[in-house]
Amino acid sequence: MAAIAFLAAAILSFGVPGVQGVQQELDSMEVMRADLVMIDTMKTFGRLERPPVVFLHDKHTEALLQQKQDCNACHPADEKGRQSHKFKRIEDSDPKAVMDLYHEGCITCHTETATAGRKSGPVTCGACHLKKPTVISDSQPMGMDKSLHYRHTKTLENKCEKCHHVYNEQKKTLEYLKGQEGSCRYCHGETKVENRIAAQQAFHQACIGCHQQRLAEKKVSGPNECSRCHSLEDQKLIEVVKDVPRMEVNQPNVVFVKRLQENEPPPTPEENTLMQQVPFDHKAHEEFNNTCRVCHHANLKACVSCHTLKGDEKGGRVQLEQSMHQSNAGQSCIGCHNNQKVQPECAGCHENIYQKLSGDTNASACLACHMEPMPVTDGSTQQPAELAALMLESRKKPPTPYPADKIPEIVDIGVLTNQFQKARMPHRKIVQALEKKIQGNQLAVAYHGDSGALCQGCHHNSVIAEKPPKCGSCHGQPFVERQPVRPGLIAAYHQQCIGCHTRMGIEKPAATDCTACHEKK
């Protein structure tokens, strides 16, 4: 709910029953609440003279329901029947008028409630404008993932016009255009812009308004309370639909990533330093992600519509190549893939791999996306999408692992033999466990194309080979001063083994139990 304001003047305490001990009650409230609204809108008129007011929305909703009142008691409707999310007003006028609305509305309601002998709220300045509030917001963002979207479309019988609309500049009206459905956030931003209300207000008007209408019609509805949407505990209780049917919006199954905008002339030979085109499995990425906004963060068009080869203002001057390869951007390909590397089944290896190049990957990894084009016989009528599908199919075969008899079963590590017996590492068992973890993971299959790719998790700075060099060939014993970033052999073993167990959530052997690996002499 949009923040509302409460700038206090000096108000004497009302001597009415039901308000004694208000401060003590505030002190004993829950520390974390999802329905906390800080009433601070008066700051739009200038500097606040008193601290913002801590307002617990759900507590007020519950109190109104007990008196058989609803949201209209505080929130009026505009000329179109849409409920305002400001207190007792549609728009902010002058500061005195807004302040008077709160003082008269809130204090009068609290006084009348207390006079009636019911539990009520504070009526003094200090009891509302707390210098040290005891309540902290733990409100979580609420989004429309594909499971929740499917439940809504099913309930509303695929009537997309109930939620989706676009603004007609000529008619100055909102209308529904089939095939142009997109995220609400594509138009509604964080703040109001001209005739577009802020996203928060748009969501609450549309969602709560619909829920209230369905409740009035005695139909199955969604929540109206803040905590039911914004509490982490309540979010975990939301029903998740498995195997959600694919949302059809004329999107491709497989396509080549576009490098040029419509009618854009091709780059000159001097400018054309691009690698091979990238075949993109759009359908597979839909199945993996919960919302289209993971990639299409501005609109549903191709990335190149905003991120051009040379960079465009509407794309924030981020070039197409940058938009695909930024390692710290969740919307980019590399950034999204890097987020997967921190998962326990991947982090054991990837968190400890030192990159050989200054970039985020090596040259061989580039070929996992930038594939060599397949030869096409003369006269072929295959369309680019069909070619892209064939190219993608060719890389879905998992790498053929090295034969088991070529992988040492046990590797004896005798670095600490002056104190312990040799550590016996079950080498083959570890390799086979890693192979099992990537089975069925198409991302891993695409990037682990070589039989020895998994070996790089431990043998991180050696070439891929059936018999990579031992750890001691790089890590000296002891630490080598001329290579300060390279740990000594003992440190390397412990960083690698214990670090891998920790990141992958392997409980045994415990990091503090030396004898689990090193039997004492």
**Residue-level pLDDT at 356:** 41
Q: Are 145 and 239 in contact (CB under 8 A)?
A: no
**Could you check whether the bond before residue 122 is cis, i.e. omega within 30 degrees of 0?**
no
Q: Which domains does the chain have, with CATH numbers?
A: 22-137 (3.90.10.10), 146-236 (3.90.10.10), 254-341 (3.90.10.10), 398-516 (3.90.10.10)
Contacts (Cβ under 8 Å, ≥6 apart) of 213: none
Overall average pLDDT of the 63-82 stretch: 91
Residue 123 has pLDDT above 90, yes or no: yes
pLDDT in tens, 328-354: 898 999 999 999 988 888 988 888 765
> What amino acid is encoded at 7 in this protein?
L
In the chain, % of residues over pLDDT 90: 52
**Residue-level pLDDT at 354:** 55
pLDDT in tens, 303-327: 999 999 889 999 999 999 999 999 8
Contacts (Cβ under 8 Å, ≥6 apart) of 56: 29, 33, 35, 36, 37, 135
List phi, psi (to 5°) of 192: -70, 135
What pTM did the predictor assign?
A: 0.80
pLDDT in tens, 200-240: 999 999 999 999 999 999 999 999 999 999 999 999 999 99
For residue 388, give Cα distances in angstroms to 110, 323, 392: 67, 21, 6
392 closest CA partner among 284, 479, 487? 284
pLDDT in tens, 4-49: 333 333 333 333 444 444 445 545 555 899 999 999 989 989 999 9
383 against 59, higher pLDDT: 59
pLDDT in tens, 141-163: 999 999 999 999 999 999 999 99
- Counting Cα atoms < 13 Å in the Cβ hemisphere of 426 gives 8
What mean pLDDT, rounded, does the chain reach?
86
269 against 100, higher pLDDT: 100
For residue 173, give Cα distances in angstroms to 165, 208, 388, 459: 10, 22, 42, 63
The torsion of the CA quartet 237, 243, 247, 250, rounded to 10 degrees, works out to 150
Overall average pLDDT of the 378-389 stretch: 77
Residue 456 has pLDDT above 50, yes or no: yes
pLDDT band at 102 (very low <50, low <70, confident <90, very high): very high
Residue 190 has pLDDT above 50, yes or no: yes
**Residue-level pLDDT at 2:** 38
